[in-house]
Every structure is written in structure tokens, then in C-alpha cells.
Amino acid sequence: MCGIVGYIGESPAAPILLDGLSKLEYRGYDSAGIAVYDGEKIQVQKAIGRLKVLSELTHDGAKMPGAAGIGHTRWATHGAPTNNNAHPHFNGDESIAVVHNGIIENYQKLKKYLEGKGYQFVSDTDTEVVAHLLDYYYKGDPIETITKVMHRVEGSYALGIMFKAHPGILYAVRKDSPLIVGHGKDGNLIASDVPAVLKYTRNVYFIQNEEIAVLSEEAISFFNVDGEEIIKEPSTIDWDINAAEKGGYEHFMLKEMYEQPQTVRDTLNPRIKEGAIVIEELGMSDEEIRGIGRIHIVACGSAYHTGVTAKYVFEGMARIPVDVDLASEFRYRNPILADNDLVIIISQSGETADSLAALREAKNRGVKTLGIVNVVGSSIAREADKVMYTWAGPEIAVATTKAYSAQLIAEYLLAIKFAQVRGEITEQDVRAYLKDLQKLPEQIEMLLGNKGKIQHFANRYISAKDVFFVGRGLDHAISMEGSLKLKEISYIHSEAYAAGELKHGTISLIEEGTLVAAVLTQEELYKKTISNIVELTSRGAFVLAVTNTGNTEIEKAADYVIYIPQTNRWFTNSLAIIPLQLFSYYVSVGKGCDVDKPRNLAKSVTVE
Ligand code: AGP
């Protein structure tokens, strides 16, 4: 995610902004910028790459005098990492500067409206729309201006705002993206996260959704979306800097698991317009979609597992034949590709060597390619014919969680879109699917609330030697991801198996007490998997079942049951993965493993 810092006080602002941004580097970024009011105008400096570049350009801030400013580290979501797209963004006469963390979901509509009013844009970002909208509404009262903008924008935002006409004041407002206010002894600050202010104060206010903060050198006041003043109590931060970077969570992996509800919203909502799916970046006509002969999904690791899920969803919903390949295999097996096929490369980092090579192989064959990628401007994003971004923000933990969940959402949206265009489902079906998808964030939140129960169960298995994950159909796909999560962060041997396949050999490994996690979310397969469970328990296995609420029948067969809320059959992987992530996490923690940086692993595998 992007990082925001703002300062107003007695000291020079620029060095404080740079220092604060350096404490937010863990959030991931590809460009940065600061704006400082120098007594006459708002000076700005931006730079692509690391903060060091910005510090050098500004001589560690010395070249930008002034005691009020805002700064930003940008994790690109809309528009590649360029100087033009870096924040702060300005209105036309540079009398208003803004930094933003989040996604303005209706920015295209607002941009068109403002262009119609004569506004000119210099960047590809959604944020610039906010700068011009503030200009559009500004009649002299910043709070009235900000509340009007809040009523117009949809999506998530944390904003730091400066008005040249009000030099002694900083403004901040948030909805769904984090923002705090720090009350320091020689000045006041805003920031995306606690680490940026800890050097100056432990006295912070947590701004709630749709609250506006107004900071002067001496005082801080708060207003609601109706412009009425509200009273807020400060909190005292007792975290150390290391804990603070993780937002108070013990590990980035846990923090990122808890970010999954927002990640799902951020990947989903901007692509739903008036009850229809709009994937602007897809750039495929209905005729091209109807003409697709076969889809080849190619990826590695967890991204590959989402591809296995997507195969069931695309084939079940859109009736398009789908092959799923490991990229390291695809690139060397001389795949058979037809001109009207579509190759989808899935990659969080967008830099995985095998996946990039597979993309190039497909392009060399003249086949249309689509990337589903998290890192804007990455190699796969740049080289694929089309790219559909997952807006998960930077993922620090090596074991993917939120990016995995975002990939599933992107694939569901594509499958629904393709199914509708190809006449396999009706508009009514689409509305029903979207309703279920929009419930997922709160259902994920509810499942994350189970962490205590799962931690208790996980502690029983920290000395396990082998754990098996089984399921049929979509439940097999999620078993693969559950197994990988456990292996990669707890170093316990684990295998995922199609439940019907166990009796063809692997069941010989089942001993007294062997843990088997069985996933049963596909109603028409319940009975089949329950018989597999009975085969396992009769040979001594201890079976943990993950199943839909209401399927209490399972309690007769399994030893321990975790229920997930009801959702559409195609989307159950998005929910079943949550207890499996939590289980792996707590086993790893219980074993004292390095959860965020497991041995032998890298976050991005850029070598063969
Ligand atoms: C997932 O937890 C692993 N870290 C790994 O399997 C990862 O999914 C795989 O390396 C693919 O990475 P990518 O999505 O960046 O291409």
C-alpha cells in the first residue's frame, strides 16, 4: 500500500517527511514525493525508485524550506511508476496538493466529468481526480470543500491535503484506508501508520471512517462528513518500532491475512458498475470472448493453485475448456496452442522467471495473453497483451495470503464476464453471483475471528511429521493451497490429494493419529468425500473437516469440524482457505519458525 506522512510545526518539514516515509518503506513502493509550503508556494519534488533518490534530490530536505508539508510513497495501482504518476498531485494552478492511499473506484466517471468542465489531467492516476475535484468545489472553505468531495468519491482513501490559501493548516480524511494523527511537542503529524510518527510522539488519534482532521502547529480538531466538529480522545502507543511496522500484528503474514477482506473489496468493487461487471483493462470485445477456443492458465505455486480453482469455475460457469499448467512445465512441453486460445499468466510479483518465460512462449506462438498481476509495471504486466491487476497492495510475507485471495476474485470476475458474454448465464445470475461476492469480505472477517479456536487446534500438531489435505473438485484445489501453506512456513511434510485418489496408494501412509484435513464445500460431492473420511478414520487418521455451515452430518465422520459460511458453490475456496491459512500460521508460530521469511524461500522466484 502507499504511505502518507504530513507535518506542520516549528521544525523544517521536509526532513521529517523523509524520515517518516522511510519508516513506511515496509509497505512497499515504487516512487515517492514531498510537497512543502515555503511561504509563497507549495514546492514539490518527486522521484521514481527508492527514497534515497528523493533524499538526494532534496539534499535530505534542505532544499525545500517550510514548516508544513505532505509526503507519499506510492505503490502503483492506477498508472505505471513514473514521475508524473508519483504523488503529491496538484490542481491546475498548484494551489491544492494531495496525497492518497487507496482506490477511487469511480475515478474514470469523475475524470470524464471534470474534463467536460475543462480540467486537464497530467497523470494516469485515480488520485489526480481528487486534486481537481477539490479545486472544483473550493469556494474558500476547505472543510466544506472536503465534505463535498467525500460525497462524490467512491472507494477507499486516506488523503493528506494542503491548500495554499490556508498555509498554516494540514487536512486529512479517510475512508477504509488507514490514517492516524500524531500530536507532537513541536508540531503535529498525519501518517498512514504508527511507525512514521513514533520518533516524534506516542500520542496519536486514530481517525475513523469519514472523519476529517484539521492540524495547525498547535492544535488538532476533527469534523464529521457533515462538517460538524467532533471530539476525539488520543491513544498512547506502547508498541516498539518493529511491532508497529506490522500494525501491531506479530508477523506480516498475520497482518496480510487480516487485510484480505479489504483486498477482496479493492479487487472486486472497482469492477462492478450498476450491477454489471466492467473489466476496463481486459480490452477484449464480446466477439473475441465468444471466439475463445480454450484457456490455458499458467503459473507457479499458490498462483497455480488459484488456476486450478479457476479451471473449475471457468468450465463450470462459462463452459470454456481450461488447461492449467505449471509454468516450469508449460515452457518446455511444446504446448498445443490454437490462434483463438487465451493464455492467462497469474503472478503476484509479475517477475517469476518460469511464468515470464511461459508468457513469452505463448506470445511467440501469436496467442493472446492476459496477465493477472499484483505489481503494477512488473515484467509480466508489461509484456502480457492485457493485464488485470489485483489490488492487494504489497505483500511482504513470503507465503502469499491476500494476493492469493485477490487472484481468486479476479478469476471469478473473468469467469462470470465470459459466461455472460457467451450466453451461459443470465443477467439475473450475474447479479446473484455479485451479491455473493460482495458478501465475501465480511464472511472472511468472521472466519478470521475464529483464530483462537484454530490456534488451540494447531498447537496439537506442531510436532506432526506428515499432514494430508484432501478434497474433490474445487475442494481439491483448495487442499493444494492448504498443503503448500503448511509446508512452506512450518516445514512439516504435507501432500494434497484428490480424495478419491487416496486408495490408489497414498492411504498406505495413514497411521494412528495421522492428521488429514478434508475439505467438503461442494454439496454434490459431500457423500463421496465422507466415505473417504471413513476410510481414513478406520485406519487411524484424525480428520479435520472444513465444510459449509449446516453440513452437521459430517460430525459423525470427522474428528474436528470447522464451518465456513454459506456462499455460492464456485466461491467457497475464498472462505475455506482462511482456516487453513490460520492453521498453518499457528503451527509455524508454535514451532518457532520464521513465519515471514521461511528458510530456502524467496518472495519472488526470478530464477529458473
Ligand atoms: C506462495 O505462498 C509461495 N510464496 C509461492 O508458491 C508463490 O506463489 C510462487 O512463487 C508464485 O509467485 P508469483 O505469484 O509472484 O508468480
Nearest-atom index, ligand 1, CA of 380: 16
CB 358 within 8 A of CB 385: no
| Per-position DSSP letters for 260-282, written without gaps between them | HHHHHHHHHGGGEETTEE--GGG
Nearest-atom index, ligand 1, CA of 484: 2
> The C-alpha cell of 389 is what?
491487476
User: Beta strand pairing status for 180-183 and 220-223?
Assistant: unpaired
Average pLDDT, integer, range 314-331? 97
- Paired with 216 in beta bridges are none
Helix (H, G, I), strand (E, B) or coil at 72: strand
Split at pLDDT 50, 70, 90, the class of 2 is: confident
Nearest-atom index, ligand 1, CA of 601: 4
Name every residue whose Cβ is closer than 8 Å to that of residue 130 and which is 6 or more positions away in sequence: 89, 98, 100, 104, 149, 153, 157, 159
pLDDT, tens only, 256-270: 999 999 999 999 999
Catalytic-labelled residue, pool 2, 46, 311, 451: 2
Helix (H, G, I), strand (E, B) or coil at 170: strand
Q: Is 164 known to be catalytic?
A: no
Residue 348 CA to ligand 1 centre (angstroms): 7
Cα–Cα distance between 382 and 167 in angstroms, integer?
A: 41
Substitution candidate for ligand 1 out of 253, 302, 483, 599 with most atoms within 8 A of CB: 302
Count the neighbouring beta carbons within 10 Å of the beta carbon of residue 336: 10
pLDDT, tens only, 432-452: 999 999 999 999 999 999 999
Q: What share of the chain in percent tops pLDDT 70? A: 99
CA 226 to chain centre: 31
Residue 599 CA to ligand 1 centre (angstroms): 15
> The C-alpha cell of 73 is what?
510513497
Helices (H), 449-492: 451-458, 474-490
Does the pLDDT at position 241 exceed 80? Answer: no
Residue 352 CA to ligand 1 centre (angstroms): 8
Split at pLDDT 50, 70, 90, the class of 243 is: low
pLDDT, tens only, 501-557: 998 999 999 999 999 999 999 999 999 999 999 999 999 999 999 999 999 999 999
What residues line ligand 1, using a CB cutoff of 6 Å?
300-303, 347-349, 352, 355, 398-400, 488, 604-605
Cα–Cα distance between 221 and 489 in angstroms, integer?
A: 45
**Nearest C-alpha to atom 10 of ligand 1 is from which residue?**
301
pLDDT at 244: 66
Q: Is 2 known to be catalytic?
A: yes
Catalytic-labelled residue, pool 363, 591, 597, 603: 603
Its pTM surpasses 0.75: yes
Using alpha carbons, select from 133, 148, 207 the residue that is nearest to residue 215.
207
Using alpha carbons, select from 182, 181, 136, 137 the residue that is nearest to residue 159.
181
CB 124 within 8 A of CB 111: no
Cα–Cα distance between 393 and 258 in angstroms, integer?
A: 13
CB 384 within 8 A of CB 283: no
Residue 302 CA to ligand 1 centre (angstroms): 5
**Nearest C-alpha to atom 6 of ligand 1 is from which residue?**
301
Residue 533 CA to ligand 1 centre (angstroms): 30
Cα–Cα distance between 595 and 608 in angstroms, integer?
A: 24
Average pLDDT, integer, range 287-298? 97
Give pairs for 537-543: CB < 8 Å, separation 24+.
539/507, 539/510, 539/511, 540/510, 540/511, 540/512, 540/513, 540/514, 541/468, 541/510, 541/513, 541/514, 541/515, 541/516, 542/513, 542/514, 542/515, 542/516, 543/516, 543/517, 543/518
CB 157 within 8 A of CB 174: yes
Q: Is 193 exposed, middle or buried (0-12, 13-18, 19+ CB in 10 A)?
A: buried
pLDDT, tens only, 335-393: 999 999 999 999 999 989 899 999 999 999 999 999 999 988 788 998 999 999 998 98
Q: Any idea what DSSP says for residue 176? A: B
Cα–Cα distance between 581 and 97 in angstroms, integer?
A: 41
Give pairs for 556-565: CB < 8 Å, separation 24+.
557/530, 557/533, 558/518, 558/533, 560/457, 562/450, 562/453, 562/454, 564/443, 564/447, 564/521, 565/443, 565/446, 565/447
> The C-alpha cell of 266 is what?
479493492
> The C-alpha cell of 19 is what?
524520515
Average pLDDT, integer, range 558-568? 96
Residue 403 CA to ligand 1 centre (angstroms): 9
Q: Any idea what DSSP says for residue 341? A: -
